[in-house]
Amino acid sequence: MAALTISFIVGVIGNIISILVFLSPITTFRGILKKKATENFKGIPYICTLLSTSLWTYYGLLKPGGILVVTVNGAGAILQLIYVTLFIIYAPGDSKIKHLKLAAIVNVGFYGAVLLITLLATHGSLRLTVVGFICAGFTLGMYGAPLGVMKNVIATKSVEYMPFWLTFFLFLNGCIWSVYSVLVKDFFIGVPNAIGFVLGSVQLIMYIVYDKKSKSKKSSVEKLEEEGSADLVHGAVEMHKYNEEMMMKKERSLKEGGSLPKPTVLKQLSGEEMYSVTDDESKKGGGAVV
């Protein structure tokens, strides 16, 4: 009874954390709605998660005492359907068609096939086992879907397209549901969530590392921009001082040059004196000028 109570409490905590996981992309989709574009965000994780939550809802309905599995995954399926719809609406042409086809194949075709086959071809515990294996496989797909984003983070050395809250709550989600699976002895819930916990840990570490690098790079760029601005201001001041000095020198040269006699006047005066002396000498009989 005590174990059952503890498992129920852990399951409720798991519901809360899982719903936070499902709500974490709201910030991303707020930006998509504002820009009316999906940019570099990927739609595949939401399509995979929609299938996973739909399958787990079905599993919870088949499993005795699976009410906590039904509640959390039913809410998650509704939210994921909204996300996938919005993504397809605002995705560019080629991406829109690609994601629409993928959603139709995975969430309608595959999910419908699972329902039909398990309802018609299996019974009792075998049906639960088959659905459990399928759910476990696609839960791994949900946790593994962000691996593409991780590759993008490594390539760009930026966490811009790796939402922190989604990463953080996936880590917590894997942790709490792993504990729950041990308490209720459910292998199908335990294995994928344990692996999800490991992957979530790796993603969280990666986010912390590359977020620090991004901030360091940004601060370096800002510092260079500030230094460049300071150099420009200093250069402008120096140029202004240089221009003022040149103007003062020019004015000083003009003043000094204006106080001196002009060369042409000096030459003219020298010539007049020479002719004046010659005339006086001729009057005295001093000889003819040859």
Residue 283, pLDDT score: 41
What dihedral do alpha carbons 2, 5, 9, 11 form, nearest 10°?
110
Whether pLDDT at 83 is above 90:
yes
Residue 240, pLDDT score: 59
Of all residues in the chain, the percent with pLDDT exceeding 70 is 69
Residue 256 placed within a domain: no
Mean pLDDT of 178-186: 93
Closest Cα partner for 196 from 132, 131, 133, 139? 139
Residue 235 placed within a domain: no
Degrees, nearest 5: CA angle 49-81-152: 45
Q: How many residues does the chain have?
A: 290
Residue 286 placed within a domain: no
Residue 30 placed within a domain: yes
Mean pLDDT of 68-96: 94
Mean pLDDT of 155-160: 78
Number of H helices, E strands in the chain: 11, 0
Whether pLDDT at 91 is above 80:
yes
Name the pLDDT band for 253 (thresholds 50, 70, 90): low
Closest Cα partner for 43 from 111, 110, 107, 98? 98
Cβ partners under 8 Å of residue 192, min gap 6: 135, 136, 137, 139, 140, 143
Residue 221 placed within a domain: no
Which letter, b or e, does each residue of 238-264 get, where b requires 16 or more Cβ atoms within 10 Å of its Cβ? eeeeeeeeeeeeeeeeeeeeeeeeeee
Whether pLDDT at 72 is above 80:
yes
Residue 278, pLDDT score: 42
Greater model confidence, 115 or 24: 115
Structural domain count, the chain = 1
Residue 145, pLDDT score: 64
Residue 135, pLDDT score: 93
Name the pLDDT band for 239 (thresholds 50, 70, 90): low
Show the domain range for 69. 2-212
221-236 tens-digit pLDDT: 455 555 554 555 455 5
Whether pLDDT at 248 is above 80:
no
126-149 tens-digit pLDDT: 999 999 999 998 777 666 666 777
Of 5-14, 114-123, 132-141, 252-261, the least confident: 252-261
Residue 62 placed within a domain: yes
Residue 224 placed within a domain: no
Residue 219 placed within a domain: no
Whether pLDDT at 46 is above 60:
yes
Contact 164, 205 (CB under 8 A): no
Residue 227, pLDDT score: 53
3-state secondary structure of 162: coil
